[in-house]
């Protein structure tokens, strides 16, 4: 039984992979026209469908919106009961259907054409009603569903999904949609944070551990313990950074010194510590920490003055890692 389950799983993946690979034959002049039509449109992309195709349509809408192409979803069944009012004169309509013959599709197509909007059909049957009536046709024909009965939409919906992603990516490139643009639409997600969150957004929530060059061992330990950042900066009277003392530096000093009564911060500090400015992206701070295999960075301002510490835990807490 276990072998049969694994065989069926692998067969499903194989069939769906073949469906995706088969799409390469359909990336043709019609595909180019679809992308150019959407790109040149002054309106939105209104995507519609019925059944599983409708669910795929909602995903494509989400992808387009998050990558800079305004889109909205209109269920084919609801469209003929009032939702057609969603369509504006400059909108492009993308209607998704495997068969192209669903009753809702046959009712909806003439209505859209009467509105005068450009109609794109994403369809798996090139002789269907939708394929014949659409202004431009995206072919998503698959030779076989992954369903053992060749009935349940599986490979066909995968093909529709990938075709939608392909359109979205092409539009991103035409629109010169950058990572910073992506962050504007994803301010709450970890991906967006990687593009906009800066060191200044993080270190200000931490303590500002700091000692002078002649601070005693007790003072150093107290400052490090209070801040809970595992380190303290060593600064001069002008707030310029002279070095850093980590809890590891303290332990190493204790291993080599017998009389700790005369130990000062100058005996423990590591000179030339890694520093970062306040306006650097937090993801760059992460790269510095990883590259140097350290847990803290000293934060300085434009005047090279010490302003605080940023810790690896700050980046973990914000989901940057």
**pLDDT at position 196:** 78
Give me 240's structure tokens. Answer: 């310029």
38 and 143 housed in the same domain: yes
**pLDDT at position 212:** 94
DSSP structural state of residue 99: S
- State how far the Cα of 37 lies from the Cα of 64, in Å rounded to an integer: 15
203 and 238 housed in the same domain: yes
In angstroms and rounded to an integer, the radius of gyration of the C-alpha atoms of the chain is: 30
139 and 212 housed in the same domain: no
Report if residue 186 sits inside a domain: no
**pLDDT at position 80:** 86
Question: Containing domain of residue 13, as a range?
Answer: 2-177
pLDDT tens by residue, 8-65: 999 999 999 999 999 999 999 999 999 999 999 999 999 999 999 999 999 999 999 9
**Residues 6 or more apart from 257 whose CB is under 8 A from it?**
263, 267
113 and 152 housed in the same domain: yes
Report if residue 111 sits inside a domain: yes
- State how far the Cα of 40 lies from the Cα of 233, in Å rounded to an integer: 56
DSSP structural state of residue 204: G
Per-residue pLDDT of the chain (321 residues; tens, 9 = 90+): 667 999 999 999 999 999 999 999 999 999 999 999 999 999 999 999 999 999 999 999 999 998 999 999 999 999 988 899 999 999 999 999 999 999 999 999 999 999 999 999 999 999 999 999 999 999 999 999 999 998 899 999 999 999 999 999 999 999 998 877 776 776 666 666 777 789 999 999 999 999 999 999 999 999 999 999 999 999 999 999 999 999 999 999 999 888 888 899 999 999 999 999 999 999 899 999 999 999 999 999 999 999 999 999 998 888 877
**Distances from the Cα of 88 to the Cα of 33, 50, 62, 63, 164, angstroms:** 21, 21, 19, 21, 22
**pLDDT at position 192:** 66
Report if residue 184 sits inside a domain: no
**Residues 6 or more apart from 100 whose CB is under 8 A from it?**
121, 123, 124, 125, 128, 129, 130, 131
**pLDDT at position 142:** 95
Please indicate if the annotation marks 81 as binding a ligand.
no
Ramachandran angles phi, psi of 297, nearest 5°:
-130, 140
Mean pLDDT, all residues of the chain: 92
**pLDDT at position 177:** 87
DSSP structural state of residue 268: T
Report if residue 189 sits inside a domain: no
pTM: 0.71
**Residues 6 or more apart from 232 whose CB is under 8 A from it?**
209, 210, 211, 220, 223, 224, 244, 245
**Distances from the Cα of 201 to the Cα of 138, 290, 317, angstroms:** 46, 20, 12
Question: 231 forms bridges with which residues in the sheet?
Answer: 246
171 and 211 housed in the same domain: no
Angle, in degrees to the nearest 10, between helices 217-227 and 247-256: 150
**pLDDT at position 190:** 63
Report if residue 164 sits inside a domain: yes
């Amino acid at each position: 039984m276990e072998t049969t389950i694994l065989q069926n799983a692998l067969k499903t993946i194989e069939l769906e992979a073949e469906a995706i690979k088969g799409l390469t034959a359909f990336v043709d002049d019609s595909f180019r026209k679809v992308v150019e039509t959407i790109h040149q449109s002054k309106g939105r992309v209104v995507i519609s469908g019925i059944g599983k195709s409708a669910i795929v349509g909602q995903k494509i809408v989400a992808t387009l919106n998050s990558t800079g192409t305004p889109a909205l979803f209109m269920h084919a069944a609801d469209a003929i009961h009032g939702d057609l009012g969603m369509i504006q004169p400059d909108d492009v309509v993308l209607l998704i259907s495997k068969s192209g013959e669903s009753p809702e599709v046959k009712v909806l197509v003439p209505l859209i054409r009467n509105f005068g909007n450009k109609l794109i059909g994403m369809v798996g049957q090139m002789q269907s009603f939708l394929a014949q009536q659409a202004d431009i046709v995206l072919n998503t024909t698959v030779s076989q569903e992954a369903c053992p009965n060749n009935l349940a939409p599986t490979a066909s919906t995968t093909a529709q999904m990938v075709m939608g992603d392909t359109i979205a990516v092409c539009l991103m490139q035409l629109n010169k949609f950058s990572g910073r643009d992506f962050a504007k639409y994803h301010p709450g997600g970890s991906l967006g944070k990687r593009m906009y969150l800066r060191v200044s957004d993080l270190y200000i929530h931490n303590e500002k551990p700091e000692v002078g060059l002649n601070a005693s061992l007790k003072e150093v330990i107290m400052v490090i313990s209070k801040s809970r950042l595992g380190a303290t900066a060593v600064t001069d009277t002008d707030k310029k950074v002279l070095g850093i003392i980590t809890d590891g530096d303290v332990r190493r000093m204790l291993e080599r010194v017998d009389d700790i009564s005369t130990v000062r911060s100058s005996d423990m500090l590591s000179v030339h510590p890694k520093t970062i400015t306040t306006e650097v992206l937090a993801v760059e701070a992460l790269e510095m920490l990883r590259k140097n295999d350290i847990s803290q960075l000293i934060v300085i301002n434009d005047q090279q003055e010490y302003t605080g510490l940023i810790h690896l835990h700050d980046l973990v807490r914000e989901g940057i890692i």
